[in-house]
Structure 1
Amino acid sequence: MRDILVMGIIVALVLLTLRRPWIGVLAWCWISLMNPHRYTYGFAYTAPVAAMAAGTTLLALVFYRQKKSPFQGAPTVWLLLFFMWVTVSWLMGLDYKTDYLQWDKVMKVYLMVFVALAMIHSRLQIVALAWVCALSLALLGAKGGLFTLAHGGSYHVWGPPDSFIADNNEFALALVMTIPLLRFCQLQMPSARARLAMTAIMLLCAISVLGSQSRGGLLAISAMTLLLWWRGHKRMLGGVFIALAAMALLAFMPDTWTERMNTIGEYQEDESAQGRFSAWWVSWGVAKHYLFGIGFNLARPELFQLYSPTPQLGTPVAHSIYFQVMGHHGFIGFFLFVMIWISTWRMASKLRKEAASIAQARWCFDLAGMAQASLLGYLVGGSFLSLSYFDLPYYIMAMVVLARAWVRNRGWETETHTGRPWQYRLGLVEPLHGTPPAAPAGRKPARTSSATLQPHR
């Protein structure tokens, strides 16, 4: 039954993509982030659902009259250069035949990011992309949070099987990046009840991060929370709420969790941490001796013998987005990778400044700030986790680029303000002159707060 349901939804999305091609981007994001087919037990588990969504979207792109150039800012140029360098690095690697499957997987991620940049342009489309990315992982995060509460935090929370984020550490980092996106979606909702429900989902995602028992996840959520607190309008109240929530959650977690987190400050005696350092030395040594890196496989005993001071403590992965890219693609690949995120951060800062005084672009102000919070979590937590090629941060980059283009093109002057009631409630469209749409018969009209009608200061 579950297989039929999942496949039915995917087939419906494929058919809808033929009519509205940009829906295919949302379908791809949902499948690649949530991996719904991995929660089935029959034919759907191994069905090529991602290929179905991607193939239909690429076909629709050919006939899509509203497509634009995907290169609308520095981050996209850096991504293209990194895309090309990764391909060269793979071909020049130690074993390009064995690495082909990983290269193919990575290239599909980057290709669909460029497709999203070419097909998505309006406020409705950009905000819809944010909703899909956020809810795809938030549903799993809420489930993990409830699981943690039900079992007292005694068990790890894991991500979708056979995915980029199947491991508890990677799943925790993905949820950290999701929480600011949920906050962005919450800011666009006029209903107080809906905002309260979103707060509950964010708290469950935070509980799920702790329930994963990931030390990298703890560092990431701490950095992300600190940035959100610093940028809040009511720091005192926000600080008290964060402190109380943190104390309650930490008191709830078992002693085994506390002992594991305490090893962060005792890395000299922690074998796992020493294994990470060993892998980092290998990545550094490879980058020094191989201009193009060695491809996608660093787990080679001979490399640890050559470049690690403690080869017996080697790990099969780099446990760092930075050292992972450095070993895979050399110093040049590392430079290009870092520039993607530096340029994205700078563009988000510029977007915040440009949108702050424009009432119609307040959602762009919110998006830029939350994108930076997500990226900070990724860049901090990613220091200890191997998620260099995960889809979500690249889609966050795409949202920033698209929102900046929307502001520079004064999108509010060309887009219509008509929409269905549910679209207003999700913040997908802006009510004309700040007036909410008429509610369906039997329902009360949605309230519009004063913040909805005023620009950010």
Structure 2
Amino acid sequence: MLDLALTGFVFVLLGLGLRKPFLWVLAYLYIDILTPQRISWGLLASLPISLIAFVLAFAGWALLDDKRDSRFTLRQGLIVALLVYCGLTTLTADYPESAVEKWAWVWKALVFAIFLPLTLRTRLRIEAAALTIVLTVGAIVISGGIKTLGGGGGYGSLRLFVPDNAGIYEGSTLSTISIAVIPLIWWLARFGTLFKPGKLVTLFALALTFAALLIPIGTQTRTGLLCIALLGVLSLRAVKRRFLYLGLAGVVALAAIPFLPESYTKRMSTIENHQSDQSASTRVAVWEWTWEYAKHNPFGGGFDAYLGNNLRVETVKAVGTGNNITYHSEYHIEKARAYHSAYFEMLGEQGYPGFLLWSWVQLLGIWQMERIRARWKDRKGPGENWQAPLANALQLAQLIYFVGALFIGIAFQPVMFMLIGLQCGLWSYLRRIDNPARPRFAGVDGKPVLRTHAAVQA
């Protein structure tokens, strides 16, 4: 029944695109995040449904969509440069077969991030894309939250729609993304027009936020805890009653501790002393190896260059209790261990040029969202209250990603590049509508027709 419903929904969504081609863009967002073809065991599993949606989205825009208001931004140009550079390093990769396998999905994430802003030429489209991302991630989050409440969590053992511990379904990655979309959840709840603000929308936003906060507990990931802490601190910027907010946050945190699984609290304790945890010690060793590797290979080793590492990892274990504790060092040999950090992933795979391009794309987004927030936050005119909060939500999402990326190799995570596409689309749209009205088309009897702010929004 699930397979039938999932297959029917995908084909109905693709069919509706024949009437509204932009729906193919939303269909690709949905399929690329949820990967229904991996959930299905029937027709969807046998079809390249992601590629079909990818081609339809591009063809629909190129052949049927109005492109007069499409703009190409600097960040899109930087992503193009990153795409070309990654293609070149793939050709000269240390491990060609593995590099080609990763390139097969990386290029789609980058190309779609370049393409998405070209389609986001109205507020409705920007909101629809944000809503699709939030609800699709929300479907995974709700499933994980329910299973966590039912006691089905555990590090690497929280069963979601897809049993594979890869992509968005990897525990630390899902924890980061689930916390990153929380600001977007509340932007949609406050300013959405597809689902207008009200009690039911607020109730759903509360429930979805609660489910998102449960994901780091269900997956027992340290990264998720750090992302929650950062979100709490960053939210102070937009909160009016900050002392009340801090007090309530402290009460909630203290009240939640007795209900946390013992296995979760033990795992979180390794944040303070990483040497007691082999996994954390291995990460530090990989980062040291990558730093040295980049010195000798400044242009990177291509995708999955980490396969060449050979590490001697030291862990420290405490034996005894009270005042009779002694510490013993143990050594382990680790080979081909992943980077466990997007920053070192970029440095090892793409070298200094790739790392600088990727960093430029990321940091420029923070700056652009701050510019939008500063420019629109004090405006009181009709239809001018949603821009600054959306920029703030997208900025918070990216900052949370920055923290999660410290400990996970998610430099090319497709969902985050979708959010970058949203940022580019918002930046381009607001720059266009904020320009003074000027003649664009000839009207009746040769008189110009002005495209005003209100006309563009419509």
In 1, Cα distance between the equivalents of 2:47 and 2:261? 39
Counterpart secondary structure, 1:42: coil
- Structure 1 equivalent of residue 444 of structure 2: none
In 2, Cα distance between the equivalents of 1:108 and 1:18? 23
In 1, Cα distance between the equivalents of 2:296 and 2:59? 42
- Structure 2 equivalent of residue 279 of structure 1: 286
- The counterpart of 1:190, out of the listed 180, 189, 197, is 197
Counterpart secondary structure, 2:309: helix
Deviation at 1:405, TM superposition (A): 2.2
Q: How does 1:51-62 map to 2 (within 5 A)?
A: 51-62=51-62
Deviation at 1:114, TM superposition (A): 1.9
- The counterpart of 2:213, out of the listed 178, 188, 206, is 206
Deviation at 1:68, TM superposition (A): 5.8
CA separation of 1:86 and 1:266: change in aligned 2, threshold 3 A: same
- Structure 2 equivalent of residue 428 of structure 1: none
- Asked whether the equivalents of residues 180 and 373 of structure 1 are also in contact (C-alpha less than 8 Å), the reply is yes
Q: How does 1:285-364 map to 2 (within 5 A)?
A: 285-300=292-307, 302-304=308-310, 312-314=333-335, 316-358=337-379, 359=381, 360-364=383-387
- Structure 2 equivalent of residue 444 of structure 1: none
Counterpart secondary structure, 2:272: helix
Counterpart secondary structure, 1:414: helix
Deviation at 1:78, TM superposition (A): 2.1
For each residue in 1:235-285, what CA deviation from the matched residue of structure 2 results, as whole angstroms up to 9, or x when unmatched?
Answer: 122223322322233321111110100000011222111110122123222
Counterpart secondary structure, 1:183: helix
Q: How does 1:8-407 map to 2 (within 5 A)?
A: 8-67=8-67, 72-151=72-151, 156-158=157-159, 160-161=161-162, 162=164, 163-188=166-191, 189-300=196-307, 302-304=308-310, 312-314=333-335, 316-358=337-379, 359=381, 360-407=383-430
Counterpart secondary structure, 1:312: strand
User: Where do 5+ consecutive residues of structure 2 fail to align?
Assistant: 315-330, 435-452
Deviation at 1:415, TM superposition (A): 4.0
In 2, Cα distance between the equivalents of 1:209 and 1:70? 39
Counterpart secondary structure, 1:313: strand
**Corresponding position: 1:6 with 2:21:** no
What CA RMSD, in Å, does the superposition of the two structures yield over aligned residues?
Answer: 2.3
Which has the higher Rg, Structure 1 or Structure 2?
Answer: 2
- Asked whether the equivalents of residues 220 and 267 of structure 2 are also in contact (C-alpha less than 8 Å), the reply is yes
In 2, Cα distance between the equivalents of 1:308 and 1:290? 23
Aligned residues: 415
Deviation larger for 408-417 or 202-211:
408-417
In 1, Cα distance between the equivalents of 2:402 and 2:363? 10
In 2, Cα distance between the equivalents of 1:222 and 1:396? 21
For each residue in 1:98-120, what CA deviation from the matched residue of structure 2 results, as whole angstroms up to 9, or x when unmatched?
Answer: 42121121001111122211112
In 1, Cα distance between the equivalents of 2:225 and 2:367? 26
Deviation larger for 216-225 or 257-266:
216-225
- Asked whether the equivalents of residues 287 and 329 of structure 1 are also in contact (C-alpha less than 8 Å), the reply is no
- Asked whether the equivalents of residues 153 and 253 of structure 1 are also in contact (C-alpha less than 8 Å), the reply is no
CA separation of 1:48 and 1:214: change in aligned 2, threshold 3 A: same
1:56 aligned partner, one-letter code: L
Q: TM-score, normalised by structure 1?
A: 0.85
Deviation at 1:389, TM superposition (A): 1.1
Deviation larger for 357-366 or 383-392:
357-366
For each residue in 1:179-217, what CA deviation from the matched residue of structure 2 results, as whole angstroms up to 9, or x when unmatched?
Answer: 121121112142133212211210111012222100011
- Asked whether the equivalents of residues 120 and 429 of structure 2 are also in contact (C-alpha less than 8 Å), the reply is no
1:249 aligned partner, one-letter code: A
- Asked whether the equivalents of residues 279 and 308 of structure 1 are also in contact (C-alpha less than 8 Å), the reply is no
Percent identity of paired positions between Structure 1 and Structure 2:
23
CA separation of 1:314 and 1:265: change in aligned 2, threshold 3 A: farther
In 1, Cα distance between the equivalents of 2:109 and 2:285? 29
Counterpart secondary structure, 2:96: coil
Deviation at 1:69, TM superposition (A): 8.2
Counterpart secondary structure, 2:214: helix
1:334 aligned partner, one-letter code: F
CA separation of 1:154 and 1:81: change in aligned 2, threshold 3 A: closer
In 1, Cα distance between the equivalents of 2:42 and 2:65? 39
- Asked whether the equivalents of residues 158 and 168 of structure 1 are also in contact (C-alpha less than 8 Å), the reply is no
For each residue in 1:46-88, what CA deviation from the matched residue of structure 2 results, as whole angstroms up to 9, or x when unmatched?
Answer: 5311112112112222213423687643322222221111111
Deviation at 1:364, TM superposition (A): 1.4
CA separation of 1:304 and 1:361: change in aligned 2, threshold 3 A: farther
- Structure 1 equivalent of residue 437 of structure 2: none
In 1, Cα distance between the equivalents of 2:16 and 2:252? 42
Deviation at 1:97, TM superposition (A): 4.0
CA separation of 1:159 and 1:78: change in aligned 2, threshold 3 A: farther
CA separation of 1:74 and 1:395: change in aligned 2, threshold 3 A: same
- Structure 2 equivalent of residue 448 of structure 1: none
In 2, Cα distance between the equivalents of 1:100 and 1:2? 34
Deviation larger for 34-43 or 344-353:
34-43
CA separation of 1:212 and 1:68: change in aligned 2, threshold 3 A: farther
1:126 aligned partner, one-letter code: I
CA separation of 1:212 and 1:134: change in aligned 2, threshold 3 A: same
For each residue in 1:384-426, what CA deviation from the matched residue of structure 2 results, as whole angstroms up to 9, or x when unmatched?
Answer: 0111111122222222222222222227522465xxxxxxxxx
In 1, Cα distance between the equivalents of 2:102 and 2:70? 24
User: Whose strand fraction is larger, Structure 1's or Structure 2's?
Assistant: 2
In 2, Cα distance between the equivalents of 1:94 and 1:215? 32
Counterpart secondary structure, 1:54: helix
1:76 aligned partner, one-letter code: Q
CA separation of 1:68 and 1:113: change in aligned 2, threshold 3 A: farther
